[in-house]
Structure 1
Amino acid sequence: MSGFDGVFGNSPTGYNPPNPSDNGNRFDRPRKRRGRTALIASLTSVVVLLGVGGTAFWAVTAGPLAGVFAPAEDFEGPGTGEVLFTINEGDIGDVIANNLVEAGVIMSFDPFYKLLLEADPQVVFVPGVYTLKLGMSSQQALEALQNSDNLVTVRVVVPEGEVMADILSTISTEAQIPLDEVQAAAADFGAYGLPAEALSLEGFLFPATYEFSPGLSAQEMLQAMVDRCYEALDAAQVAEADRYRVIVFASLVQKESGLKDDFYKVARVFQNRLDQGWNMESDATVAFGTGNTYRVETTSAERADESNPYNTYIHPGLPFAPISNPGDVAIDAVMNPAEGPWMFFVTWNLDTGETIFSETADEHAAGVDIWIAWMDEHPEYQ
């Protein structure tokens, strides 16, 4: 008898009809009930047996087939296309992982977050906007976020001695913000924490190379420049009460100096003149007052113009406001001028910035003659 015959009986249906010769014997009924019970028990045994067999089958085959049936959790390769991804200030690993999934950069949270947990040293993310690809592997995405070449920035270069109007134009061009919007932000100069004497942002937009995140407002960029100026003043140990005067003085030194070492001598000349009660007689201040900020040389008529409030040939003391945005060297020169008796100077070579320093008017006149001769040989500067 086969195994299935033993379970289901001889009938191909698994059920044996009663024998007619039994004539309905009442003792046969329990046997029929036992048959049903045996059938149910037998079927249950089959189900259990098949269940055990199925479990055994899965246990044996699950390992090899898991890679076939389990869903993928990570993309492969460097990805395609391009997407801008932002890491905000204060974003931590799990936030970044979730945001990468939502942006379509990586497939799922776990593989990326596992990389963060296993990283040694610990991964540090720099806030900003990054250029990534869609469908990157977690490893590729993490490496891309650690590569500064993928950090998208708005670069604004502020040269030493540049005036505010030109800086605002640069911000507009590089950040693609309308110029009138940048100018309006600068006009609200009271919003930047300037000294009470300040009449504008002039002098406080520190010269440096700035890397801004896309989307920053003009006010945020200008504030960063002001903050950088205060860092420079603090580094030079300028007292808060002296900030405005130092910036005004340094803006003058910045425009009048050529070679680095001469900054300290120029600062000394102006300080000596102030100490002696002499007018500073700076052509740079006169030129700024005329609106011509691209030259230092002036005419006799301009130097005699009393209506120019920046004319230090006429008006004593420092100019009332900065005439440029000075850098570290100019600030340091004001704080630490060179020792010397000089009362005059003239930059005689405008190509190299070479300058003659003099103690007397006659010595200065001789230096001016050298400058005039050089100018005659270089008409492009006239």
Structure 2
Amino acid sequence: AAESAEDQDAERRREPVLAGVGAAAAGGGAASAGRPAPSGSLEDLFTGAASTEQIGSTPPRPPRRRRRMGGWIALAISVVLIGALVLVGVNLWNTYGDRVQSFFGASEPLDYEEGVATGEARVTIVSGDTGASVSPKLFDAGVTKTSDALYRYMVENNVVFTFQPGVYRLQQQMTSAAVLKTLQNPDSRLNNTVQLREGLTVEQSLQAISEQLGLPLEDMQAATADPAAYGVAADTLEGWLFPATYDFDEGVSATDVIARMVDRTVQSLDTAGVPVDDRERILTVASIIEREARFSEDFYKVSRVIENRLDPSNQETFGKLEMDSTVQYGAGEMASGSVSTSEEARNSDNPWNTYMHPGLPKGPIANPGDQAIDAAMKPADGPWLYFVTVNLNTGETVFTSTYSEHLKAVDQWRAWCADNPDAGC
């Protein structure tokens, strides 16, 4: 009898477990525990016809595959939410970051501190210059700390300033306020100094010389009418007015100015080892390099592209030089502000249209500097036949050796232009 009682007690302890499997196997054990007898089945639980209280135990866990899928969905939602928060944060920082930094005193100063200016720098201002165009010149010359320092100073302080053409003597590491004060001082203007930058045409150079020296433009044009007077065997002095800074004595004549610049070009050609009979050709190649390349390290690669395209073995594959800079020069579009040529320019039949005529153009298209001349003599080694600047702000240029690769780079350039419609495409 005792053994039978123990068996019955063990059976009662097993009842809740049996109830979890199904009420039909549980019998009435739950009622003996003081709660309603469980009823229903697993199917009733999943269809909603019965609850876990009615069944008498926790419902079974969903299948492992369903649990795994739910975890992946939760992870995906988390990633999307985090990405959205990061994107919003980046946009907010780009919009208000400067203000936040300024509020907490963490922003990088736009200007150098007062009292640290030293040394000397020369900056050329041309007709039509404004704060926006002068600011990068100051930065490139080491005068200001950032490329837009002067412009932002003028905007923030409502400064109205008229920039007068000329070459000005400044210092390195100046404040924007000190720059404006110096530019207002007539003594800072170098009345007998000319500064020509690389890539200018003869026409642009003569205009700059006239403005900076105060010589009549008609005198400058007359001084360049006969290239033979300076030992140049060409129709014009295009490419022969070397880009540099020149100091002249008071009362210098237009002829003396041109002679000095031509002599400086000859000096550069001789230094680069250019044979006398090859001077005009090298200046032509160098002028194209000067107008096409964006970075100094790209000069030698652009030079190689030119030589590869002129190589007779590539004529069947490529055909012509096809340089936009030469087409723009021949069509008078050098000052268009765009790196692209118009349809009218490409259809213009002139000796500089390298889309229409094979070989090099008739002559130089601008004044090349020392490095461009050196690059024309020492092209880099490489198979490149094409290049395209895919970012006009940074100057990033892609060099390729096949047309299919070139088309991909062109697509990259077009995409950048679509995102930057006012960048000069």
> When the two structures are superposed, what TM-score results if normalisation uses the length of structure 1?
0.58
Partner of 2:297: 261
1:168 Cα offset (Å):
0.3
Q: Distance in 2 between matches of 1:272 and 1:233?
A: 22
Q: State which of 356, 366, 372 in structure 2 corresponds to 1:314.
A: 356
Q: Distance in 2 between matches of 1:363 and 1:150?
A: 52
Q: Is the 8 A contact 1:152 1:213 kept in 2?
A: no
Question: Aligned pair 1:367/2:409, yes or no?
Answer: yes
Q: Distance in 2 between matches of 1:321 and 1:327?
A: 16
* Counterpart residue type for residue 368 of structure 1: V
Unaligned runs of 5+ in 2: 1-186
SS class of match (1:348): strand
Q: State which of 304, 328, 347 in structure 2 corresponds to 1:304.
A: 347
* Counterpart residue type for residue 299 of structure 1: S
1:181 Cα offset (Å):
1.2
- Measured against aligned partners, the alpha-carbon deviations of 1:80-123 in whole angstroms (never above 9, x if no partner) come to xxxxxxxxxxxxxxxxxxxxxxxxxxxxxxxxxxxxxxxxxxxx
SS class of match (2:243): coil
Q: Distance in 2 between matches of 1:300 and 1:168?
A: 29
Question: Aligned pair 1:221/2:285, yes or no?
Answer: no
SS class of match (1:356): strand
Q: Distance in 2 between matches of 1:214 and 1:238?
A: 34
Partner of 1:323: 365
SS class of match (1:187): coil
Question: Aligned pair 1:177/2:219, yes or no?
Answer: no
Distance change (3 Å), C-alpha of 1:359 and 1:176: same
Matches within 5 A, 1:181-192: 181-192=219-230
Matches within 5 A, 1:1-382: 154-194=192-232, 196=233, 198-275=234-311, 276-277=314-315, 278-294=319-335, 295-305=338-348, 307-380=349-422, 381-382=424-425
Q: Distance in 2 between matches of 1:181 and 1:317?
A: 35
SS class of match (2:390): strand
Q: Distance in 1 between matches of 2:296 and 2:190?
A: 34
Runs of 4+ in structure 1 displaced over 6 angstroms? 149-152
1:324 Cα offset (Å):
0.4
1:323 Cα offset (Å):
0.3
SS class of match (1:268): helix
1:293 Cα offset (Å):
1.3
1:191 Cα offset (Å):
0.9
- Measured against aligned partners, the alpha-carbon deviations of 1:286-317 in whole angstroms (never above 9, x if no partner) come to 00111121243112342233x23211011000
1:152 Cα offset (Å):
7.0
- Measured against aligned partners, the alpha-carbon deviations of 1:324-349 in whole angstroms (never above 9, x if no partner) come to 00001111111110000001000111
Q: Is the 8 A contact 1:175 1:214 kept in 2?
A: no
* Counterpart residue type for residue 305 of structure 2: V
Q: Distance in 2 between matches of 1:185 and 1:233?
A: 22
- Measured against aligned partners, the alpha-carbon deviations of 1:345-377 in whole angstroms (never above 9, x if no partner) come to 001111222110001000000000111111112
1:187 Cα offset (Å):
1.2
* Counterpart residue type for residue 157 of structure 1: Q
1:215 Cα offset (Å):
0.6
Q: Is the 8 A contact 2:391 2:397 kept in 1?
A: yes
SS class of match (1:365): helix
1:151 Cα offset (Å):
12
Q: Distance in 2 between matches of 1:308 and 1:242?
A: 23
What percent of counterpart residues are identical? 48
Choose 1 or 2 for highest CA Rg.
1
- How many correspondences in the alignment? 231
Q: Distance in 1 between matches of 2:253 and 2:275?
A: 30
Q: Distance in 2 between matches of 1:156 and 1:360?
A: 44
Q: Distance in 1 between matches of 2:345 and 2:237?
A: 26
SS class of match (2:397): strand
SS class of match (1:248): helix
Q: Is the 8 A contact 2:191 2:213 kept in 1?
A: no
Q: Distance in 2 between matches of 1:296 and 1:214?
A: 40
Q: Distance in 2 between matches of 1:150 and 1:328?
A: 28
Q: Is the 8 A contact 1:153 1:211 kept in 2?
A: no
